Structure 1
Amino acid sequence: MTIEHTSEFIFGGSILALLCVFASILSRRLGAPILLVFLVLGMLAGENGPGGIQFDDFNLAFLLGSLALAIIIFDGGLGARKETFRVSLGPALSLATVGVVITAGLTGIAIHWILDLHWYEALLIGAIVGSTDAAAVFGLLRFAGLELKARTSATLEIESGTNDPMAIFLTVTLVEILESSQSNFGFSILSALLQQMGLGLLLGAAGGWLVAKLLKGLNLPASLYPLFALAGGLSVFGLTNVIGGSGFLAIYIVGVIVGNSPLPHSNDIHRFHDGMAWLSQIGMFLMLGLLITPSHLPPIILPAIAIALVMIFVARPLAVVVSLLPFHFPWREQVFISWCGLRGAVPIILALFPSLAGMEHTKIFFELVFFVVLISLILQGWTIAPIARWLRIEVPPLAVEPEHLQVAIPTEQEQTLHIYDVIPECQAEGMQTLRLPLSEGAQLIGVIRRGVVIKSKKSLELSIGDRVMLLASDSTKDFGALFSPSLKTNTTGSMAFFGEFVISPEAALFDLAQVYGFSLPAAHEQKTAEEYINSKFHAKPVIGDRVTLEKVELVVRETKDGRITSVGLKLIM
């Protein structure tokens, strides 16, 4: 490549990246899936589009795509909060394993009937499209301003970080079967699965602990902490792949451990990787769009539509029902999780595996998978927000911990100094410092007012512009929410959702029945509101869960450490 071509390549790539950024604004207004926009821009830049760029290097695409996927999954792990695992770890792992196998199997059967392919080839394509891209789902939900129930959002979040290894394992295994003359693969498949998952879990946990430990102990310039975290995660990813484990599972676990550890410059690490994840998605989908030749797609349009419809309306829903059967999910949430089986980057990257293995008909496989992903992005991606509203699984926006300064203190208790700004209309404005709700072990260090630290033992009324310093070793989410912007504008919506009255979770159902005039089965007369709600949601309620008792609905308003702390009562007209 000459110097002129190098400059042209850099200029063209930067223009495409800028177009993607501007296109994200348009996609937000139209409600279009942002990944679809990136993909279409890549196709327009390709050989059949105005850009006229010819790109068919599958090896380079696989390398860059795998690297981008690793960065995206690492960022997903960084954003996963440990509190979400209590509610949704079991359901998410079931979806990521059993769900992927069922989806791949049913889709493979449909492909065998539709395309009359050999069983192994049909199942290979089913395995390629078996995993979801929940990162795209959350991007769309954030653009739409929706706040999902914690059980639903956590399940999708954890599933997105853990289902890729199973799809990759199935794809690699079926490629090996097609390339080998052996007939008995039962034991080898089981041992390969255990090796992939076992090494991924082991090296991910060990690598995550080591990276977090080094981030705490090393004295680095502030700008190098995010780079060290990324390099550490990618090192674990590469090492795990080299010795035969699941690198994607390993790097997700590294992200979870690092993201939930009190680290110096934690906010910088999260912001940096959020930007890197966006850059990876833009680059990956532009590249995948360049790989496709649109003029080759018409012959496979009808079979691809049929396969996509079977996957969306049959395979994914059945997989969700079977996977979540032991966990008693409400039917509305099961329907939404089924509809969130959005396909994205992973299937397209996996579609490169047959080509890299030297198999026949690989171009057809790739184009077929690409079109199935395209249909999924259009059909499911464009309708996720309306479906969420229709199923009533969103909750009113809640006060969240705002952006604030955090400094990790290297002590045995692993404490962190938090500094919050008192802003207009936040709940902390006008509060007395002695009445601030401190968690166990947390210490109020002082208040910075006009550049001076005030350490008075007497109570001090907080005013706009103050900065409150808190030293804590545990989560400060509830404390930090006091410094978030007020949600007064959403009061009407909250009342419509949670109800007109607020009652104690210890309120007796019998007393409520007497006051509001509804009948109650004898078996529930001695129960409190919390006990009754827990019995309906198997002791794992989340904000927004509701139960109906003839004329009233009891709605979970607040929870803490798995316990209901506030219940709304809504009158049914």
Structure 2
Amino acid sequence: MAIETAAGAMNPVIAIALVGGLGVGSQWLAWRMRMPAIVLMLLAGVIIGPVLGVFDPARDIGPLMGPIIAIAVAIILFEGGLTLNFHQLRDAAIGVRRLVFVGAPVGWVASALTLHYAAGLSWSSSWVFGGILIVTGPTVIAPLLRTARLSRRPAQLLQWEAIVNDPLGALAAVLAFEVVLVLNTATTVGTAVLALIWGIGAAIILGLAGGFGLAWAFRNGHVPEYMKVSILFALLLGIFGISDAILHESGLLAVTVMGIVIANANLPSYAELRRFKEHATILLVSGVFILLAANLDFAQLGQLSGRAVVFVLLIILVARPLTVFISLIGTGLPWQEKVLVAFTGPRGVVLVAVAGLFAERLISLGFEDANLIAPLAFVLVATTVVLHGFTLKPMARWLGLAGAGNPGVIIVGGSDWTTAFAEALIKADVPVLMTDPNFGHLRAARSAGITTYTGDILSEGAEQRLELVSYDKLLAATDNDAYNTLVATDLAPEFGRENVFQVARVKNDGARHTLPATLGGRPFGHAVTHDEWNSLIRQGWTFRVTRLTEEFTLQEWREKRPRSHLVGRILPNGDFKLLHEDEEIRGVPDTRLIALRPPETTGSTVQPPASA
């Protein structure tokens, strides 16, 4: 198959593959370099698009580009709606309501005034574009929150505002455009109002019907497990298409409502559905950002003047903070959280896509200044993505609203050996949270000053009460192998499978009692079981932290302590890592090794268990 077709256009299949490869590749590279993924995706799109001219979405994908972006945004918003569980909102509920019901109209007015007086747009263009600027970018917020690791409440405020206000922004633009249409054409007020009410009502009804209908079908076993995701996708696309056909941009509202209904339906298969949607969303966010950047037209940007810079600065430094501070008056939120939310307003793909659509409609009505809407939208998106991509995490740390600089470990299971291990980690400045459903199992940990939580780590109470942003590793270490496997399997997607460990399982002779190797976490230690770890502690073994130097190398440490169990290491930069069975490590100077060492009594006859 040829890579290029007539007139130098790239084969559409190759073009879509290129977009997917660059998008996912940018996310992986950002993970390796610990950079904001959004920034690298924009950079990759600009390089292959307007800079090198290798890929031109309008030329290589053609009329498919619009539907691709529309469907991708619909799925992204639906997945966002799936994260909006009302039971998890709790202490952020007041702030979210204010940001939606007060912040949206205040932001609309502030953005319209900025567009008119700073960017020089007409009132008609300003009110239409200002409605779209209500949107704070759900396609951007999710990757930023994943990187920044914010505290629960400010993260919820930003996430809920972005997802709920996204369809509201599109509908605000629809409302403003209908007013412009009435004032500049023969369309009557009654016709425009009826169309608007009918479209919004239909979107809400379709979203509710789709959500409740799907929940009923799933709960009552009318859909086989292997078809649930397929039916979900088909219904999602159908509702989006029907609603959008009734009123442009109302499909975004319909799929958001549908996602929220399903999120709050307490479905037994909800977690699996959401994880699949999250994976799909990562692919879609990557793709749409590559398309957005590659479709940039430098000629359009050339139309902008210095007023565009003033417009961007006023939106970021005046309009956004003013909107948030007015909205959150009387909510009782700490000033740190208000400041963080006020100065975090990234815009994303939805803004550019919807702005381009309404720009074309305004131009068709004779508003020539609408030519500036698309380039202004892109400049704002690019500026806010880069700005917040690099500043959100350090600003959150400065305000005390992010996890510690060196994330720690959650130890599930209170016992003699886990308490001793936790004490060693804390002395090495590694944060530790120890949890156990049994209050008595945590008595020694509490006496040692270790942070504890009595309860099931998988419970809704733990999710609501614990601030997990300070921890990025987990060790399942109770005396129940089945429970350890359940915890490790359930939380692996949250922490990353490479960061979830499990104490060695008790060996069973029969296959009937052996759990599948595909379940659970990575093996911790040296095939030593929970009871064997405890036995070693009672015999006098201790966890010790040893620092390597140029003179005292890893090889020398191994030679002097041949019977020690190496279980973790801390790099010179403070990065802590649990070690799985037989893992090889590099002995970099200033690395600290954490190991369980035997008693140092001369001639000690204490021996490790046979399995060690």
State the TM bucket, normalised to the shorter chain.
Answer: 0.5 to 0.7
Indicate whether 1:287 and 2:291 are aligned: yes
- Alignment correspondent of 2:385: 377
Cα distance in 2 between the residues matched to 1:85 and 1:429: 24
Normalised TM-score (structure 1):
0.65
Indicate whether 1:227 and 2:230 are aligned: yes
- Alignment correspondent of 2:21: 18
Aligned residues: 435
- Alignment correspondent of 2:79: 75
Quick check: 2:393–2:402 contact (8 Å CA) kept in 1? Answer: no
Q: How far has the Cα of 1:160 moved from its partner? A: 1.7
- Which of residues 341, 350, 359 in structure 1 aligns to 2:354? 350
- Alignment correspondent of 2:124: 120
Q: How far has the Cα of 1:73 moved from its partner? A: 1.0
Aligned residue identity for 1:161: I
- Alignment correspondent of 1:465: 481
Q: How far has the Cα of 1:77 moved from its partner? A: 1.7
Cα distance in 1 between the residues matched to 2:378 and 2:266: 41
Cα distance in 1 between the residues matched to 2:315 and 2:48: 30
- Alignment correspondent of 1:212: 215
Aligned residue identity for 1:386: P
Shift of the 400–337 alpha-carbon distance from structure 1 to 2, 3 Å rule, reads: farther
Tell me the SS of whatever aligns to 1:466: helix
User: Counterparts of 1:59-138 in structure 2 under 5 Å?
Assistant: 60-138=64-142
Quick check: 1:137–1:384 contact (8 Å CA) kept in 2? Answer: no
Aligned residue identity for 2:481: G
Cα distance in 1 between the residues matched to 2:380 and 2:3: 39
User: Counterparts of 1:11-50 in structure 2 under 5 Å?
Assistant: 11-28=14-31, 32-50=35-53
Who wins on radius of gyration, i.e. which is larger? Answer: 2
Shift of the 179–197 alpha-carbon distance from structure 1 to 2, 3 Å rule, reads: closer
> 1:367-423: per-residue Cα shift (whole Å, max 9, x none)?
121111111111222210011111112356798999xxxxxxxxxxxxxxxxxxxxx
Quick check: 2:106–2:323 contact (8 Å CA) kept in 1? Answer: yes
Shift of the 71–301 alpha-carbon distance from structure 1 to 2, 3 Å rule, reads: farther
Cα distance in 2 between the residues matched to 1:352 and 1:428: 54
Q: How far has the Cα of 1:204 moved from its partner? A: 2.3
Q: How far has the Cα of 1:365 moved from its partner? A: 1.8
Tell me the SS of whatever aligns to 2:58: coil
> 1:241-278: per-residue Cα shift (whole Å, max 9, x none)?
34448332331232223234444544432222111111
Cα distance in 1 between the residues matched to 2:142 and 2:23: 18
Cα distance in 2 between the residues matched to 1:263 and 1:54: 39
Shift of the 393–192 alpha-carbon distance from structure 1 to 2, 3 Å rule, reads: farther
Shift of the 124–224 alpha-carbon distance from structure 1 to 2, 3 Å rule, reads: same
Quick check: 2:141–2:162 contact (8 Å CA) kept in 1? Answer: no
Quick check: 1:98–1:323 contact (8 Å CA) kept in 2? Answer: yes
Indicate whether 1:320 and 2:324 are aligned: yes
Structure 1 unmatched runs, 5+: 403-424, 443-460, 471-475, 488-573
Cα distance in 2 between the residues matched to 1:321 and 1:58: 43
Cα distance in 1 between the residues matched to 2:381 and 2:193: 29
Shift of the 80–398 alpha-carbon distance from structure 1 to 2, 3 Å rule, reads: farther
> 1:340-374: per-residue Cα shift (whole Å, max 9, x none)?
21111111011122255235545432112111111
- Alignment correspondent of 2:175: 173
Tell me which of the two structures has the higher relative contact order, counting C-alpha pairs closer than 8 angstroms and 6 or more residues apart: 1
Quick check: 1:68–1:280 contact (8 Å CA) kept in 2? Answer: yes
Aligned residue identity for 1:172: V
Aligned residue identity for 1:463: D
Shift of the 355–299 alpha-carbon distance from structure 1 to 2, 3 Å rule, reads: closer
Shift of the 192–323 alpha-carbon distance from structure 1 to 2, 3 Å rule, reads: farther
> 1:170-209: per-residue Cα shift (whole Å, max 9, x none)?
2122333334436999888877776555544443233211
Normalised TM-score (structure 2):
0.61
Shift of the 60–151 alpha-carbon distance from structure 1 to 2, 3 Å rule, reads: same
Shift of the 202–50 alpha-carbon distance from structure 1 to 2, 3 Å rule, reads: closer
> 1:433-461: per-residue Cα shift (whole Å, max 9, x none)?
9x99589x99xxxxxxxxxxxxxxxxxx9
Higher mean C-alpha displacement, 182-191 vs 243-252: 182-191
RMSD: 4.2
Identity of aligned residues (%): 24
Indicate whether 1:365 and 2:373 are aligned: yes
Quick check: 2:348–2:381 contact (8 Å CA) kept in 1? Answer: yes
> 1:272-314: per-residue Cα shift (whole Å, max 9, x none)?
2111111211221222223211244244263322111101111
- Which of residues 394, 405, 423 in structure 1 aligns to 2:402? 394
Shift of the 328–462 alpha-carbon distance from structure 1 to 2, 3 Å rule, reads: closer
Shift of the 58–117 alpha-carbon distance from structure 1 to 2, 3 Å rule, reads: farther
Indicate whether 1:55 and 2:58 are aligned: yes
Aligned residue identity for 2:154: T
- Alignment correspondent of 2:145: 141
Shift of the 236–296 alpha-carbon distance from structure 1 to 2, 3 Å rule, reads: closer
Indicate whether 1:335 and 2:351 are aligned: no
Q: How far has the Cα of 1:59 moved from its partner? A: 6.0
Quick check: 1:135–1:157 contact (8 Å CA) kept in 2? Answer: no
Cα distance in 1 between the residues matched to 2:209 and 2:260: 12
Structure 2 unmatched runs, 5+: 413-432, 444-453, 461-476, 503-612
Cα distance in 2 between the residues matched to 1:465 and 1:229: 35
Quick check: 1:426–1:486 contact (8 Å CA) kept in 2? Answer: no
User: Counterparts of 1:124-273 in structure 2 under 5 Å?
Assistant: 124-144=128-148, 146-148=149-151, 150-181=152-183, 198-218=201-221, 220=223, 222-244=225-247, 246-263=250-267, 265-273=269-277
- Alignment correspondent of 2:417: none
Quick check: 1:429–1:462 contact (8 Å CA) kept in 2? Answer: no
Shift of the 201–9 alpha-carbon distance from structure 1 to 2, 3 Å rule, reads: closer
Aligned residue identity for 1:285: F
Aligned residue identity for 1:88: A
Cα distance in 1 between the residues matched to 2:161 and 2:320: 13
Quick check: 1:97–1:163 contact (8 Å CA) kept in 2? Answer: no
Shift of the 87–54 alpha-carbon distance from structure 1 to 2, 3 Å rule, reads: closer
Indicate whether 1:9 and 2:17 are aligned: no
Aligned residue identity for 1:237: F
Shift of the 257–387 alpha-carbon distance from structure 1 to 2, 3 Å rule, reads: same
Cα distance in 2 between the residues matched to 1:4 and 1:113: 46
Shift of the 179–398 alpha-carbon distance from structure 1 to 2, 3 Å rule, reads: farther
